[in-house]
Structure 1
Amino acid sequence: MTTRIGVIGAGVMGAGHALILSSQIAGCQVTAIADADETRARSVAQKLGDARTFSNAHALIHDDEVDAIVVASPDPTHHPLVLECLRLGKPVLCEKPLAVTSRECLEIVEAEMSAGKRLVQVGFMRRFDPGYEAMKSAIDDRRHGLPLFLHCIHRNAVAASYTTSEAIILNTAVHELDAARYLLGEEFVNATARSSRATSAAPGRRPQFLLLETASGVLVDIEAFVDAQYGYDVRAELVCETGAMSLAQTHAIQTYGAGTIGKSLYGDWMGRFDDAYRRELQAWVTAIRMGSHVGASAWDGYASTLTAELCLDAFKSQRMVRIDMDSRPAFYD
């Protein structure tokens, strides 16, 4: 069975997903692309072959030749588009965030539970990165005893001029929040947030540093710095009772010359996590065919967004903030 996929959004993420789906993923065909700028949609469709284009995302969702949808449109559109997919019973892979507020995320959770079937996957691609998977396996096996500390680093070379200090928490650090929840298998109970001084490259915003505690007492620190200049650099180190483990550094190339060894970093997340994106999309397509579910759920999207909002509260108040979250519904076990 070939799953016919429609992609909403023809920007960097949407175009990237469409190209991977059409060229590297078995069991699917991209049949439609939607973007408010239909010229941009046509530009992507031409690279795919015979995909049709839409300027109206809801028309794509309702199209009879679309079985499943990828939502990679601007963040504020995610909530209504995912709800529309649920109303029609169509599986949807939604890029993060699931919605721009935890309240809207919870509405999606409630709608999915009312539908009675898991249809939503959130695009937290690190869950499909081989390094993160290996680290989670080691944690679950208690290879080095119980976890104590998790250190996370997220550095971008540059960010858009409109990026704010608040957005660094909500849109950047949220990746680390989900990765930590995935690795440790538990929720956070409190958070504090601080920022360094601004840099000369971006005087209008500040690098963020978050410190959170999980229910079992693991301390997680997150550095989110989106103006590091030198490249895209994501790291994680876990300290356990009898050992430690860290993600192997991945590099575009390694060079030798003039008495030195140099390693070139990727310029952005698309290069660093290209394998994770491919594995995420293949797992999603396979799960649709098998009637199962993989990856981050709608509940994970809600939990990470709520945690990010409370980290933002901690940043604004400069106080520790308690994180009280309802227990995960059995529907998402």
Structure 2
Amino acid sequence: MSDRTTAELRVAVLGVGMMGADHVERITGRIKGARVAVVNDYLHDKAETIAAGIDGCRAISDPLAAIADPEVDAVLLATPGPTHEAQLIACIEHGKPVLCEKPLTTDVATSLDIVRREAQSGTPLIQVGFMRRFDHEYSQLKTAIDDGVFGRVLLAHCVHRNPAVPPSFDSSMIVKDSLVHEVDVTRFLFDEEITSVHIIKPSANPSAPAGLQDPQIAYFTTESGRHIDAEVFVTTGVAYEVRTEVVGEKGSAFIGLDVGMVRKYSTGAAVGDGRSRAGSWGGDITPSFTERFGQAYDTEIQRWVNAVRSGVNVDGPGAWDGYAAAAVCAAGVRSLDSGRPETVEMIDRADIHAVAASVSGV
């Protein structure tokens, strides 16, 4: 393994579908301090084609061999969720830092096992690709909340709309693949766990595939009693919309309008003459997540590369965050079936800290 602090970070990108290919292009063209050394995909011809266009890059057909390769310093997983468990275990066993696109794994039990294995290794290695944390608007909103601009934040309203989803998309995937981002946003903004989830099923979109419960409304309750609602609508036929509003005792803020953060807050003085005036609002909507969150992905990958080269390995959401998201989504799927609020079942994070402390001898 090369000296990460001085040499370019040699990255293996596993999975070169739409997301993985986008990351290959990103690392090759815009990220400093790293290069794509290995690519892998179950469609080996596709991996070979991509590798042929990058100086010094090889295609390796076996993903576990790609992880173990001595000329690979770090791994980016953009493979299907069911493959993540074995690939993450291999990264831990070989001591390779890894950025894993969500989900961490496809169920709560295996996600918790990954968290425990990483803790037992004694070294943080896993970062999970919840890219919204790196978006400028979400970062600005987080800073305003932490700085107390709105006093205590009491509520949040989220909207997550896609124009379309693949025919294989089912109702539970709306929770596990789409709502999961609002789960992480809630935990990120408020620094506390979600304790219960209630999924409401409005009338289904007539244009949605048969049997797909779309849209869905989710209600989260957090440890301190905050309430967050999230509309998830994945077959709008319009464009890609992601919005978040927080409401506090001293004001509110709104992001996702493609105009930067819009905020309203009290200055302690009366403003205006109290009369309402008519107005208008208009603009374009971003067509897909790659345009809406392109900057966030760039920032996420650059910061991850910098962290790995510095020996920190993780600069963002880690394995615990992936596990917590899986636990909340599992409760969401149960609520989708039961029609009732469901409690989020998680272990105490202190148990994981105890494992890590015992390994380090603290």
Fold equivalence (TM over 0.5):
yes
Aligned partner of 1:302 in structure 2 is 323
What is the Cα deviation at residue 248 of structure 1? 4.4
1:229-267 per-position Cα deviation (integer Å, ceiling 9, x unaligned): 11000000000001001114127xxxxxxxx98522222
Q: Between the two proteins, what is the percent identity of the paired residues?
A: 37
Does 2:166 match 1:146?
no
Whether 1:80 and 2:75 are equivalent positions in the alignment is: no
Distance 1:248 1:227 in 2: 19
* Structure 2: segments with no counterpart, 5+ residues: 1-5, 260-279, 358-362
CA RMSD of aligned residues (A): 1.5
With over 3 angstroms needed to count, the CA separation of the structure-2 counterparts of 1:129 and 1:214, relative to structure 1, is same
Partner of 2:274 in structure 1? none
Match of 1:217 among 225, 239, 244: 225
Correspondence 1:154-303 to 2 at 5 A = 154-202=160-208, 203-206=210-213, 207-250=215-258, 263-292=283-312, 293-303=314-324
Deviation at 1:326, TM superposition (A): 2.5
Which structure has the larger Rg? 2
Q: How does 1:2-41 map to 2 (within 5 A)?
A: 2-41=8-47
Name the CA distance, whole Å, in 2 between partners of 1:49 and 1:11.
20
Whether 2:55 is the aligned partner of 1:71: answer no
TM norm structure 2: 0.87
SS at match of 1:245: strand
Instruction: State the Cα distance separating 1:73 from its structure 2 match.
Output: 0.7
Q: State the 4+ residue runs in structure 1 displaced beyond 4 angstroms.
A: none
The total of aligned residue pairs comes to 324
**Consecutive unaligned residues in structure 1, runs of 5 or more:** 252-259
Residues 138-187 of structure 1 show CA distances to partners (whole Å, capped at 9, x for unaligned) of 11111110111111110000000111111100111001101110011000
Equivalent AA in structure 2 for residue 62 of structure 1: A
The answer for the alignment partner of 1:321 in structure 2 is: 342
**1:130 corresponds to 2:150:** no
TM-score by length of 1: 0.94
Q: Deviations over 1:89-145 (max 9, x none)?
A: 000000000000011101110110010000000000001001111111111111110
State the one-letter code of the partner of 1:108: I
Residue identity matched to 2:330: E
